[in-house]
Chains A and B, each alone.
Chain A
Amino acid sequence: MSYGAQILRLLPEAILTVFGVAIMLADPLVRRKRALGYLAVGGLVVALLGTVLMVQQGWWGPAFSGHILNDPFAVFFRVLFLLIGLLVVCSSFDYLETNAIHHGEYYALVLFSIVGQGLMAASVELVMIFIGLEISSIATYILAGFRTRDVKSSEAALKYFLLGSFATAFLLYGIALIFGATGTTHLAEIRAALRAGPMGPMAAVAAALMFVGFGFKVSAAPFQVWTPDVYEGSPSPVAGFMSAGPKAAAFAVFLRVYLTALQPVEGWFWLLWVSALLSMCIGNFGALVQTNIKRMLAYSSIAHAGYVLVAFAARSELGVAAVLFYMAAYAAMNLGAFIVVTHFGGEGERHVSIDDYTGLGHRQPALAAVLTIFLLSLIGIPLTGGFFGKFYIFQAALKAKLIGLTILGVLNSAVASYYYLRVIVVMYMREPAPTSPPAARVPGAISFVLSVAAIAVLYLGIFPGDVLQFATRSAAFFR
């Protein structure tokens, strides 16, 4: 296969890289940074078209000496990342302007981060996975600290960066050990080697260390400590991005590595089991006492990672499909909620306390209504994507005879309804206080992305079939 034919397997990533570099080059020349944002949107749309072309032309299969594998699983995630990117970029136009951030790199960094995520989803080799992970992470570290004059933003970036590198170091140590144990870094070959020979202690320790690294990236307990602080301090659109994109990418490699390469290693099922339970409990109980909405959503994202781990623990095709569907639904609803938070925060993100939302239902009915849709979906009320997401997860778990975990999971989601509901109560069942922030007009870009996210949530809740079918087909790699 020629080099050119191989790069077609990475067409979306190649397109995004070109656009990202173009944005960096154009940055000094363009005064109105919004134009760079439009360029980024263009890049994402072209990449999306590229993905469609890739599928239509049937450019499937391995590339670059088997480091890359273009399969439905990879395509599912890349489409998801590109859509997430579109929502994030569009919701950032006005955010950057109100907060007087005039740096075009912002858009380039979002694109680069998505390049990394796409590489992660399409890699079947540990070096490539590591490179993808780092491209995505480093871009996100910078984005977290993008409000350079804000103390909290820098603190968030620093915490994310130090702890992230620390966890990645564990991951790398694990990769080194698995290389030592099997002599290869290709996932399929690792599996074959592990199946063939007697299992040494190195493989077991490697599985554990890699669990630390991936667990950290998906903010699963007990490696979740960074999440609330980083989400709270990061710019709101970036926090939304982190909860959707990098997290989904980390889940993609987590699934691939554990269900293929490390599948013969015994015992990690119990790590998942305990981690799922801990994540759900810590996330939900931690969220109960929060007063800052970003922090509450951060704890809730820990809990949602727990639900996803429940499906993961099923270790079945059904479970993988449930994870994929949930990642899509979660991206729509959580990103939607973060976009509302982005808009509502105003200049300098002053209004991020839950009490600031008092009476929003009367002051801005439309904004309150979409936030309610997202929150109901996060609770898991029927006719929203969140409901079907949970439904598939628990169905997969039950099929895998994880009865205890299913019961604990459903119980947890009952607890969780409380803190989401509190926001709805505040919005609809309290009179606006005189101190409530004045209602700001919702800019066009924000209302556009909010409607897209709300429609996506309802679409996934009313007609989940298509996406589920896509997810089921993508889950076949596991066979």
Chain B
Amino acid sequence: MSGSYHLWLIPLLPLAGAAINGLLGRTRPRSFVSAVGVGSVSLACAYAFFTFLRFPWHAGDAYVERIAPWVVAGNLQIDFSLYLDPLSAVMVAVVTGVGLLIHIYSVGYMAHDPGYYRFFSYLNLFTFFMLTLVLAGNYLLMFVGWEGVGLCSYLLIGYWFTKKSAADAGKKAFIVNRVGDFGFTLAVISIYWMVGSLEFRQVFPAVASMPKETPMSAGPLTWICLLLLMGAAGKSAQLPLYVWLPDAMEGPTPVSALIHAATMVTAGVYMVARSGVLFTHAPLAMTAVAVVGAATALFAATIGVTQTDIKRVLAYSTISQLGYMFLACGVGAFGAGIFHLMTHAFFKALLFLGAGSVIHAIAGEQDMRKMGGLRQAIPWTYGTFLAAALAIAGIFPLSGFVSKDAILWKASPLGSPSGSWLYWLVGLATAGLTAFYVFRLFFLTFHGEPRSEAAHHAHESPRVMLAPLAVLAFLSVVGGFVGWPKALGGHDRFEAFLAPVFRLAEELAPAAHAAQEHAALEIGFSLLAVGVAALGIGLAWLLYVARPRLAERSAERLGALYRLVLNKYYVDEAYNFAIVRPLVVGSTRLLWRAIDVGVIDAAVDGVAQGARNIGGAARRLQSGNIRSYAGWVLAGAVLVVSFMTFLWAK
């Protein structure tokens, strides 16, 4: 491909912003810091879109920009190279676009924070690493971005370090991510070992020409893919490595929106999609991806139902939605997964920023039980939040509907050969649960009566925070139209745009292009999904809006409405008994308390404690006595000598 696009400018601009703010920000006024912080990202965003506009997409090839040789030694050759294809373009667009909005929002949200310049410096640094991750042209550079975003995430979670819980959460995130990175590191080294290169442009064709490893003949590729999955699960908070994400909510809300919803946590999905060729050659690993995704989606959604902290609900929701994306990748529908990644970035960032606006409005309160009735006080937040809630619930025709529907269809055996009815059912159930918990949150926060002093005195956020909300609300509503499915009269443009990326992968896993005859069925499925979502919303309405009012009215006109109240009560009870109680109690007791807190948290803590105990034992050897040291040396010598003699005798 001819012409140079100077892609390196895109990540470098935020880096420059980070450096300027980090070095000079302390002594400069806030307006300077905001200008540098927001300006650098908006320049990067503008340059990225400018590049995309003049890029010849129709050629269908990836553009590789070799900036400089990085490591050249013997047979090892790795470049600083950037890689532009539709997939990385989508990621860059999301990172710079949503990132820019969140930067703007932060200007208002962090206005009174003493470490203003530090915050923007970290945020810009994060953007730099994230762009490096998605633009990297080889696995090693990708790993640099991968570690870098982890580090920034850790710095930003622990940003309010005076809170002990925040510092602990930061540490937990870092440690859990190291477990994932362990997998990624081994995978990268193994890829080099197998292919002899880490450059995407060499690895993918090389792998494509290898024979497919069936589950019976699982070999190195399967192992590499499982290790990659381990890394992806750590970064994208999938079972069983998801534990750090809910705790990560200790960070400032814009951070939760940017890092823990829209961008960094999706890096795992990006990596799996990027390595699609490898995965399609290892069907066993594909199945693992799908199973992990489906299980996480359902599991996290049920926990979301039980949470009372507004940000923790959204955190579990993020985990659950990421599960959808993994499920999509696992059945070979990489395009659908990336599509959902994009729409999710819109509406989940919006949900987080909206939640931030709520928290801002009522003086830092995050417990939904102390909110309520905020609808009138903060109408802009309310309106935009509603758009996001409808989108994530999958209501026609919002963006969440389109992308979730694509995944559900592909998860079924009709939509793709590796689909299964079980995936589809799990996806459908999760969709219902999602609608329920999001609207539970929505009703508890905005409807009903204010349930605390702070909620009475709520005030709307400044314009600089509302403007990003409005933009994101617009995107959440219309974002789905770029990928409007054929079955509903659209053109599947988004998938067609991404198709060249997955060409190599799809030659092996023919992702049901021939499914046209099922168009009617597909529409039926969509209706079903929307119905389930509506059911979830209705249930939430019934439990969190209708019942309190009914209770009031029945107090006034007890006699006349006795039957009705009784009936409602009966229905309530039935719901409560048949659905909500088992769900809430079951998932609280079993899933959240027992597995989440009891098993996984305990496992993390237990491992840490166990490691410290081993450490304690190791240092017992260190008695300080010189003669016992000599004894150890002698014991070691005796062992070594007897081993060598034994070996010789054999």
Contacts and interface: CB of A to CB of B under 8 A. Distances in A.
Contact of A417 (B72, B76, B178): B178
A225 B621 CA distance: 8
Contact of B648 (A204, A222, A415): A204
B189 A288 contact: no
Given A209-B641, A228-B622, A425-B167, A285 B161 contact: no
Contact of B633 (A158, A167, A229): A167
B75 to A, nearest CB: 9
Interface residues on A, range: 35 or more
A398 B647 CA distance: 25
A348 B629 CA distance: 27
Nearest to A222: B636
Nearest to B628: A225
Contacts of B597: none
Contact of A418 (B175, B190, B621, B648): B175
Contact of B637 (A162, A170, A381): A170
A229 B636 contact: no
Nearest to B642: A208
B68 to A, nearest CB: 9
A395 B193 contact: yes
Interface stretch (B179-187, B396-404, B434-442, B462-470): B179-187
B612 interface: yes
Interface in B596-650: 608, 611-612, 614-616, 618-619, 621-622, 624, 626, 629-630, 632-633, 635-637, 639-641, 643-645, 647-649
A267 interface: yes
A395 B192 contact: yes
Contacts of A21: none
A163 B633 contact: yes
Interface residues of B, number: 61
Contacts of A398: 189-190, 193
B282 to A, nearest CB: 18
A385 to B, nearest CB: 12
Contacts of B175: 417-418, 421
A399 B161 contact: no
Given A211-B640, A382-B147, A288 B611 contact: yes
B182 A411 contact: yes
B71 interface: yes
B468 to A, nearest CB: 29
A166 B633 contact: yes
Summarize B's interface: helix, strand, loop or mixed.
helix
Nearest to A302: B618
Given A225-B632, A288-B611, A414-B178, A271 B643 contact: yes
B234 to A, nearest CB: 10
Nearest to B174: A421
Given A414-B182, A465-B73, A468-B71, A159 B633 contact: no
A286 interface: yes
A208 B73 contact: no
Contacts of A229: 622, 624, 629
Given A222-B635, A425-B167, A394 B645 contact: no
A318 B189 CA distance: 14
A410 B615 contact: no
Contacts of B645: 201, 204-205, 208
Contact of A431 (B162, B170, B630): B162
A267 B69 contact: no
Given A166-B633, A286-B618, A418-B175, A465 B70 contact: yes
24 contacts: A159-B629, A166-B630, A204-B644, A209-B637, A209-B640, A212-B633, A223-B632, A223-B636, A228-B619, A229-B624, A266-B648, A267-B644, A288-B611, A318-B74, A388-B71, A391-B140, A395-B76, A414-B178, A414-B179, A425-B167, A428-B161, A430-B161, A431-B162, A464-B73
Given A212-B637, A267-B644, A376-B151, 5 more contacts: A204-B644, A223-B636, A281-B618, A394-B186, A464-B73
Interface of B: 69-74, 76, 140, 143-144, 147-148, 151, 155, 158, 161-162, 166-167, 170-171, 174-175, 178-179, 181-182, 185-186, 189-190, 192-193, 608, 611-612, 614-616, 618-619, 621-622, 624, 626, 629-630, 632-633, 635-637, 639-641, 643-645, 647-649
The 8 A-B residue pairs with the shortest CB-CB distance, nearest first, are A429-B161, A222-B636, A468-B73, A288-B615, A204-B648, A208-B644, A289-B615, A267-B647
